[in-house]
Amino acid sequence: MTPVSTAESRRPAGKDYGYCNARVRGMKSRLFDAAYLERLMGAADLSGVIHELVQTEYNPDLEQTLIHGRTAAQVDEALKLNLVRTYRKVLRLLNEDAFFLVTTLLGRWDLFNLKSIVRGKHVHLTVGEIHDGLLPVGALNAVELDALAAVEDIRAVADTAATWGLEYAPALRAGYIAFARSGDLPELELELDGHYARWASERLRKRGENAALARRILGMQVDTVNLITVLRLVKADLEGVDPMTFFLEGGWSIHRDLFEQLAKTSDVDELLDRVKGTPYGKTLEDSAIAYLEENSLAVFERSLETLLTRRAVASGIGDPLGVGVVVSYLWAKLNEVTNLRIVVKGKAIGMPESRMRKELILV
Amino acid sequence: MAIAEEAAAEGAAAGGDVAWQATVGKALAAGLAMGLSAIGAGYAQAKIGSAGAGTLAERPEVSIWIITLQALPEVIVLLGFVSAIMISG
C-alpha cells in the first residue's frame, strides 16, 4: 500500500552497509557547500537563483514545476519534490537493518504530516493549502496524504486512517474523542506525539551500535518536544493543569523527574538555570538573549532543532559501515533544502543578504 | 654383524617414512598458504566490489580509483603463491 512496502521488497538483504553507504556518501559529496550558498545569496534576484539551481541536481524537479511559472512558490515546490525523491531513493538502497532503523526515525514525518492535515481540517484550509505544508518522506506517500487531506473533517481523517489500518489510527481515534470532548486540538496532537514516541522507542529496543545511534537521535527528538512543551507551560503559567500529562516517554536526557522539576520552575530564567547540566543547557543559554529580544519561544525551538540537526549530521563521522552515514545524509539534505528555501523566499521578498545569512540553519 | 645390518635396514625404513611425511606436510602447507590467501583476497574484493559499485553509481568519475582498489587484494594472493612456492621448493 505504501511506497515503503514497495521499497522493502527491492532493498538489499542483510547487514552489508558497503554498497548503500558508498552510494549515500557519493550523494553527500554533491551537497552544496557554504561558498555555493553565498553565491546564491549574491544573485541579483530570484531569476539568478533559478539560473544557478538549474545547473545542479535540482534541475529535473525545477523543469517539472517551472512550467507553471518562475515564481518562488514553484521553486519551493521543486525543492520539496527533490527532497522527497532523494529520501525515497535512499530508502530503496538501504539494507534490512538500516531500512528498519531509518524508517522508524522518519516516522516523525508521518507524525508531522498527520498533524498538518488535522490542523488544516480544524481551520478549514483547502486541500491545496494543506498539500503545500506536507512533506511525504515517511511511510505515507503524497497520494495517501492528499487523500487524507481531502476528507471532510478530522473525524473522517481518523475513520479513513482506521479503514486503511494505519499505524496511527488508534492514536487518531483516541485523540479525536478527547478533542471532541474538550474542543482542544493539542489534546489530539499530544495523543499522536505520545503514540510516535512509544512506537519508535519500542522498535529501537534492539542491540548493537546502529540501534543505539538511532535511539540517541530519537531520544533527542523527544527531548526537544518535551523541552518546548515545558517552556510553553512555564511561560503560560497555567493554573490547575497537570504538566505530566504532556510528558513524552523515550527521551535521551530529559527524564520524567527532571521534566517535573522543570515544570515547577517559576519562570523561563529559572528553567534555563535548571537545564544547565543537560546536553541542551548551553544551546538554550546561548539563545536566551535572542529570546529576550523577540519574546518568542520559537527562538528556543529553532536552536534545539539546529542542535538536533548538528548531532544527526555528526553521526556520520563514526563507523563508515554503520547507519550513521545514512542518518547524517538525510539530515544534511533536509538542512540543505531548508537553507535553499530560505534563500529563495528571501530573494523573492528582497531580503538583505545579511538577514538571509542569519536565517540559514547550518552552513 | 647381523644385528648391525638389521639396525641399518630399520634406519633406512624410518628415513623413508620421514621423507614421505615431510613431502605431504609441505604440500599441505603450500596448499593452505595459497588457498587461505585466495579466500582472504576474495573476501576483500567482495567488500571493495560492493562499496565500489555503490561509489561508481553515484560518482563515475572515480572509476580509476575503484579499479585500483579492487585490484589491491590480488597482492595477498601473490604473496600466498610465493609462500607456497617457497614451502614446496
This model of the complex carries an ipTM of 0.73
Terminal CA-to-CA distance of chain B, rounded, Å? 40
Torsion sign, CA atoms B80, B82, B86, B89? positive
The residues near A259 (Cβ < 8 Å, ≥ 6 apart) are A226, A230, A243, A244, A247
The residues near A66 (Cβ < 8 Å, ≥ 6 apart) are A50, A74, A75, A78
| Longest CA span, chain A | 58
Shortest alpha-carbon distance between residue A33 and chain B (Å): 18
Give the residue among A21, A24, A319, A10 at the shortest CA–CA distance from B51: A21
Phi, psi of A245 (to 5 degrees): -70, -20
Per-residue pLDDT of chain A (363 residues; tens, 9 = 90+): 444 444 445 566 677 899 999 999 999 999 999 999 999 999 999 999 999 999 999 999 999 999 999 999 999 999 999 999 999 999 999 999 999 999 999 999 999 999 999 999 999 999 999 999 999 999 999 999 999 999 999 999 999 999 999 999 999 999 999 999 998 999 999 999 999 999 999 999 988 999 999 999 999 999 999 999 999 999 888 777 888 999 999 899 999 999 999 999 988 899 999 999 899 999 999 999 989 888 889 999 999 999 999 999 999 888 889 999 999 999 999 999 999 999 999 999 999 988 888 888 877
- Say yes or no for a CB contact (<8 Å) between A26 and B52: no
* B54 contacts in chain A (CB < 8 Å): 18-23, 26, 93
CB A84 within 8 A of CB A97: no
* Residue to substitute from B43, B47, B48, B55, interface A, most A β-carbons within 10 A: B55
* A20 contacts in chain B (CB < 8 Å): 54
Q: What global pTM score does this model have?
A: 0.87
Terminal CA-to-CA distance of chain A, rounded, Å? 37
